[in-house]
Amino acid sequence: MTRLLITRPLPEATLAAARALADDVVVRPVTDGMTEPEMIAALQDFDVILLTLGDFFSAAVFAQVPGPRCRLLANFGVGFNHIDVDAARAAGIAVTNTPGAVTDATADIAMMLILMSCRRAGQGERMVRANRWTGWHPTQLLGQHVTGKTVGIVGMGRIGQAVARRCHFGFGMRVVFFNRSSLADSGVPATQLDSLQAVAGAADVLVIALPGGANTRHMIGADVLAAMAPHAHLVNIARGEIVDEAALIEALQAGRIAGAGLDVFEHEPHVPSALIEMENVTLLPHTGTSVLEVRLAMGQVALDNIAAFLRGAPLPNAV
C-alpha cells in the first residue's frame, strides 16, 4: 500500500487528483511548517511526502531516520532550500520541485513591487486608509519614474528572464544582469555584467531572482547595497536569506538607497519592526505564486513527479 503525506491543505482539485494516485493519502490540516518530530515520523511512515516551504528537512532530521520508508520528497514550489538535498540522496530519497509553473506569477509580483516601491503606492494607500489625505497637490508623494529606466536583475533564470521581458517590452527599460554562468540569449536586449556590484551600480531598480540556499545566502550584502545609487530601489521576489536583512535595514535607514519592495524575508514569517515602520518599504506576505491557476499548476507538476516515481519512470523534475 502506497502512503502519501501532503503537509499543507491544497486546492480540492489537487487533493482529488492525489487521492487517485495513492492508496492512502493523509493531508496535514494546519498551515504552519512541520515540527521536527512530525518530519521524523513522516519519513518513517510514508512512501512519499508532498511538502513545501517551511518544512525544514535538514541533515539532522535525516540523521535520525537511518532506514526511512520514504523514497520521494515532492516539493510544492520551485525553491527547495528548505531541503538538504545531499542528505536526502544519502538516505536514498529523491527530491523533485515544480519549475515553470510559478514563472509568470512571480514575475508579475516583481513588476507590482517595482511600481509600488518606485511610485510610493504603499505609502499612498496607507495615507488614504488612515484618512490623512488632504487632497492633491504638486509635491505630494513624488516618486521615481519606471519607464525608460535601468533594471538590474540578479539571477537570469526562468523568472529573471520573465521579469526582463516585462521591464523591457512593457516599460522600455534597459536591462543589465548578473548571472553565475554566461548567458548568450536572455530573450530580450540585455547586457551581462561581470559583477554584482557593477549591476547594482548601474540599476535604478535591482531585482533579486536567485534560488535560495547556502550558496546564495547574504549574496546581497552591505557591499552590494553600497554600490547602489541613492535613488535606487531593491526588489526581492526570491528567498529572504539572499539579502542580508540587517544590512538592508541599515542602508534604508541611512538613506543610502531610496526604497525596497519585499515579498520574502530572512526569517519568515517574522518581519523586523524596522522594516514595518519605514514608509519607503513595500511589504508583501510571500504572495509570488498566490494565484489559484498557479497553485493548481504547481500541484499538477508535483503529482506528475509522484506518478512517475510510482511507475518507476524517470522523474520529470528531479533536483
The CATH number covering residue 255 comes to 3.40.50.720
* pLDDT of 310: 96
Do residues 55 and 71 share a domain?
yes
Do residues 249 and 108 share a domain?
yes
Do residues 74 and 114 share a domain?
no
Do residues 126 and 262 share a domain?
yes
Do residues 179 and 278 share a domain?
yes
In a domain, 295, yes or no: yes
Do residues 59 and 9 share a domain?
yes
286 included as an active-site residue: yes
In a domain, 318, yes or no: no
N- to C-terminal Cα separation, the chain:
26
242, with CB counted inside 10 A (0-12, 13-18, 19+), is: buried
3-state DSSP call for residue 174?
A: strand
**Residues linked to residue 260 through DSSP beta bridges, in sequence order:** 234, 281
pTM to 2 decimals?
0.93
Q: How far from chain centre, in Å, is Cα 62?
A: 25
* pLDDT of 154: 98
DSSP summary character for residue 240 = G
* pLDDT of 187: 86
109 φ, ψ (degrees, to nearest 5): -65, -35
Q: Which of 38, 158, 174, 268 is catalytic?
A: 268
Domain that holds residue 64: 3-101+291-311
* pLDDT of 184: 78
Counted domains in the chain? 2
CA distance 260 to 217: 18
Q: Which of 82, 166, 233, 286 is catalytic?
A: 286
* pLDDT of 273: 98
What is the DSSP code string of 25-55? EEE----SPPPHHHHHHHHHH-SEEEEETT-
In a domain, 317, yes or no: no
In a domain, 117, yes or no: yes
* 143's grid cell: 516618486
In a domain, 193, yes or no: yes
Find out whether 144 and 204 touch, Cβ atoms under 8 Å: yes
Do residues 264 and 196 share a domain?
yes
Do residues 118 and 264 share a domain?
yes
Do residues 259 and 272 share a domain?
yes
Q: Which of 28, 82, 168, 239 is catalytic?
A: 239
* 48's grid cell: 512519499
pLDDT tens track, the chain, 319 positions: 999 999 999 999 999 999 999 999 999 999 999 999 999 999 999 999 999 999 999 999 999 999 999 999 999 999 999 999 999 999 999 999 999 899 999 999 999 999 999 999 999 999 999 999 999 999 999 999 999 999 999 999 999 999 999 999 999 999 999 998 888 788 899 999 999 999 999 999 999 999 998 899 999 999 999 999 999 999 999 999 999 999 999 999 999 999 999 999 999 999 999 999 999 999 999 999 999 999 999 999 999 999 999 999 999 999 9
268 included as an active-site residue: yes
Going by C-alpha positions, the residue among 161, 157, 159, 119 that lies closest to residue 264 is: 159
* pLDDT of 71: 98
